[in-house]
Structure 1
Amino acid sequence: MNAQHCLKIFNQSIIDYHKYDSVEQAIENPYDEESIDGLLYLKNWIDTVQWHYEDLIREPHIDASEAVKLKRLIDASNQRRTDLVEKIDDWFVVYFKDSVKQEGSKLNTETPAWALDRLSILALKIYHMQEQVDREDTATEHKASCEAKLAILNEQKADLSKSIDELLEDIKNGTKYMKVYRQMKMYNDPSLNPVLYSKKQN
């Protein structure tokens, strides 16, 4: 398990989605859905669909009812994304079950799965920035600007990949340890969101 392996799966998901490029298309996960590869593929697929939801909701002349519908879809997608990241972290807990915590070991600011969440989004940014670089209907200045941004994104990818690999190695060796906190998002919970539970009481 390393960042390069995860990136390969993320990029496969992105390419598979863009064969049809529709937020309504059904996922065809090529991996066992309970395997780590299946979870990573699904994770990026959710991110990719949400990326395009975010594009659609920014249509300047969007109908108000359609905007509300998309906002609901984005909220639901965010919840699925969070739930899946936590499920991937559960996998890592089992993966590192035999690691021995060393004296003086440190807790990282984020878990492996949340770091991979950033890598998944970064893979999407790179894909879509490359699309801008490849466009033939733009000015030279636009292409140059996008090429510069793409170079920075690729540098970020290399740095983040290295950091993820170092984190996984540190956890394996016991010099760092992982602790999973649930996000406990409140806005989708009818018992915690005051707008939802006040309506229910009325």
Structure 2
Amino acid sequence: MTAALPSSTEVIAAHDAALAVAPAPVDADDVRGWISVNHFHNRSLWAQEDLARRTQAPDAEIVANKRAIDRHNQARNDAIERIDEFLLAALGLVDPATLASALPRSTVAPGARLNSETAGSMLDRISILGLKIAAMREQTLRADVDDAHRQACGERLQRLVQQRADLGQCFDELLADSRAGRAYFKVYRQFKMYNDPRLNPALIAESK
């Protein structure tokens, strides 16, 4: 089962391929599907964040942008948790009976180090770096700016590409170490309280 785990090279290629076509919602029933879902919501977040920073748009449009950001951010975090669940199950590092619970129980060998960042969170960061790379590349191709702007953006683009490659290597090493029993990670529930009408004090007050 571990042979089917995605590599960073595969994920980066899938991210870049997705950016070459119009965004569309994704259904998921496996880890690769949830990686695509995460990337879709990061892409949607990026677009909404740009729109939310307009200074001449009506207030109602900015409010709509902010609410869309909140929805996509929640879905993005949900996808990260699902990615971690699938990867941990494939690696045999979690008790399957507890996987969907608030506190999935790790089943790791003594002596394995706990990685502070989950594999799903790393893939989320790789997704965001892909968006930054695509956006920065567009800046290097602009005809309405001077050479200094294009050069500065070209240098930033090189750094972003290196950062994504470095993070991809760290992701591959984490999976390899986890497979070998040297490391492990957990599912960390985000518990976004502000999205829950039972936990957000402002929403509770509105309901009374």
TM-score past 0.5 threshold: yes
Counterparts of 1:26 and 1:151 in 2: how far apart (Å)?
29
Shifted more, 100-109 versus 144-153: the winner is: 100-109
Question: Could you list the per-position Cα deviations for residues 133-170 of structure 1 after superposition, in whole angstroms to 9, with x for gaps in the alignment?
Answer: 11111101100110110011011011111111111101
Give the C-alpha shift of residue 98 in structure 1: 6.8
Paired residue total: 191
Give the structure 2 partner of residue 171 of structure 1. Answer: 178
Q: Distance in 1 between matches of 2:44 and 2:184?
A: 33
Question: Which segment drifts farther, 5-14 or 141-150?
Answer: 5-14
2:134 matched to which residue of 1? 127
Matched, 1:198 2:205: yes
Q: Which residue matches 1:93?
A: 88
Query: Are 2:93 and 2:108, in contact at CA under 8 Å, matched by a contact in 1?
Result: no
- Name the residue aligned to 2:47: 52
What one-letter code is carried by the residue in structure 2 that aligns with 1:119? I
1:105 maps to which residue?
A: 112
CA distance in 1, matches of 2:78, 2:30: 16
Structure 1 contact 89–180 (Cα < 8 Å) conserved? yes
Measured after TM superposition, the shift of residue 184 of structure 1 is 0.4
1:66 aligns with 2:66: no
Greater relative contact order (CA < 8 Å, ≥ 6 in sequence): 1
Matched residue, 1:3: 8
Deviations along 1:22-59, one digit per CA (max 9) or x if unpaired, are xxx643x4xx6212222212211111111010111111
* Contact 2:91-2:178 within 8 A present in 1 as well: yes
Q: Using the alignment, how far apart are the partners of 2:90 and 2:163 within structure 1?
A: 26
- TM-score normalised per structure 2: 0.87
Structure 2: which 5+ runs fail to align?
1-5, 95-106
Judge conservation of contact 1:14–1:44 (CA < 8 Å) in 2: no
Per-residue deviation, 1:172: 0.6
Residues 1:103 and 1:73: Cα distance change in structure 2 (over 3 Å): same
TM-score by length of 1: 0.89
* Percent identity for Structure 1 against Structure 2: 37
CA contact (8 A) 1:10 1:41 kept: yes
